[in-house]
Amino acid sequence: MAISKSFDLTETPISVDSVYNRFKNRFIKASSFLILLGTFLLLFSAVSLFYFLQPYFEQIYIERMNTVWGVTIMVAGISLLLIKVSLLVYILFLYLRYKVIDVVSDEELPLCTVIVPAYNEGELVYKTLQSLVRSDYPIEKLQIISIDDGSQDDTWNWMKKAQRELGNRVSIYQQPENRGKRHALYRGFNLGIGDVFITVDSDSIVKKDTLRVMASPFVTNEKCGAVAGNVRVLNRDKAFIPRMLNVSFAFSFEFIRSAQSAIGSVLCTPGALSAYRREAVMNCRAAWITQTFMGQVSKIGEDRAMTNMILKQGYNVLFQRKAYVYTNTPERFKNLYKMFIRWERSNIRENIAMTKFAFSNFRDGSKIGTRILLANQWLKMIMAYPGMLLMLFFIVTYPILFFSSTLVSILIFSSIQAFFYAKKHSFVESLWAYPYSVFYAFTLFWITPYAIATAGKGGWLTRDLTKKELKQREPVVSIPS
């Protein structure tokens, strides 16, 4: 007997957006496979080329070693490689000493003020405030402040919506004009009543236990002046750049900052999630808000500057690996390089500032480790121009040698990041360490030299929105569980 079945098309409407998103997701998956496949074909082709052209490379080596210039380059290159490997071994030694600080009880947790500065963030600030209110931090010990820094978009409306829904759990304020993130934080510090300040970017989502994990070190360690959170990428499934950055962030935080934390010298507490002892902030608040560089008021690098000023007071700066925050990262190349330029300019400025106190008796106990970390920062800056000039020289004179040796080096050193990520998280995602290294080596190599040449500029670069960008904003991604 035939069975008839009718369909009501009105029950399951298919929107244009859903079709587009479905197509986009499939395109990203297919493209991701092709990018990974292409990267490994490129890398292993370079290895094969390096192997088969070994006699040619040996001939070049013999020719260069017969000149003073060639010997000088060879000795300098080997020396630099030995220094970098030695630093990596030292970082590994410190990493193995790192220990997460346990969470304290509700009774021991300090009064905490969370400050969320926002500028042109739209709906994401609403999601950020929601995630903070859902935290398992004792309500009576938690103050949440959000400050709109003169946004051009509907950020203030989303903040008001959050306050209507969350009630007195959230206090919101609006700056009369855009003055920069540093001034928004400064207002939050002045309004805050907590013994611990936690700053969270307005495009970032925290896990339920993040706040208590961040606050606990201040209870168990009286020398703790600041704590860095563990930053992961929120929009990693939406584009290729965030997917690559997710692996890079994991290595930067869970490996590098873990090592720095082992000697109480995390060099930068990230804007996405940081915590500070109230007393330490109040001691340097005036110097921090009036900080200048080359005669100009500093509008960037507020996180690294605060970290420096707290280290200078003799406090330890630690990292809490289990304090997760998920933050939005650039999805387009233009926004990515602008972010890196801002970060590098900040590093240059604050490396100079740190040098002024790091070699003094700025705190009790050993200071050698802190100075080694700073020296590593300076090595990157010092080698920026010689490294770029050598790169251009080899591209012009020995292009095959340059490209093959560069790709082989990427295969070797990226494997360290990939292995680390695979062991901690996911093998498949760890493979993105390789295309990221290739991408950075050939498209972003100029960032540090350019940042050094333009260190006096202080624009934020990535927050201003055009009318077209405001209209094209995509919906906010879901909050991680």
Chain centre to alpha carbon of residue 220: 27
* Contact assessment for residue 325 and residue 205, using Cβ atoms and an 8 Å cutoff: yes
Q: Which of 279, 301, 256 is nearest to 194 (CA)?
A: 279
* Residue pointed to by tokens 């000088």: 72
What ranges do the domains of the chain cover?
Answer: 20-52+98-481
351's CB contacts (< 8 A; 6+ apart) are 374, 377, 378, 381
CA separation for the pair 91, 418 (Å, rounded): 17
3-state secondary structure of 135: coil
Fold of the domain spanning 20-52+98-481: Spore Coat Polysaccharide Biosynthesis Protein SpsA; Chain A (3.90.550)
Fill in the amino acid letter for 224: C
Beta bridge partners of 147: 117, 173
Angle (CA) 150-296-384 rounded to 5° is 105
Residue 117's φ and ψ, nearest 5 degrees, are: -80, 140
pLDDT in tens, the chain (481 residues): 444 444 344 444 555 556 656 666 676 777 888 889 999 999 999 889 888 888 888 888 787 778 887 788 888 888 888 999 999 999 999 999 999 999 999 999 999 999 999 999 999 999 999 999 999 999 999 999 999 999 999 999 999 999 999 999 999 999 999 999 999 999 999 999 999 999 999 999 999 999 999 999 999 999 999 999 999 999 998 889 999 999 999 999 999 999 999 999 999 999 999 999 999 999 999 999 999 999 899 999 999 999 999 999 999 999 999 999 999 999 999 999 999 999 999 999 999 999 999 999 999 999 999 999 999 999 999 999 999 998 998 899 889 888 988 999 999 999 999 999 999 999 999 999 999 999 999 999 999 999 999 998 877 655 555 555 555 555 555 555 4
CA separation for the pair 253, 234 (Å, rounded): 15
pTM across the whole model? 0.88
Neighbours of 448 (CB within 10 A): 22
CA separation for the pair 472, 481 (Å, rounded): 27
Beta bridge partners of 292: 297
Q: Is 158 left (phi over 0), alpha (psi -120 to 50) or beta?
A: alpha
Q: What is the dihedral of CA 134, 137, 140, 142, to 10 degrees?
A: -80
Fill in the amino acid letter for 71: V
Classify residue 239 by burial, with Cβ atoms within 10 Å: 0-12, 13-18, 19+.
middle
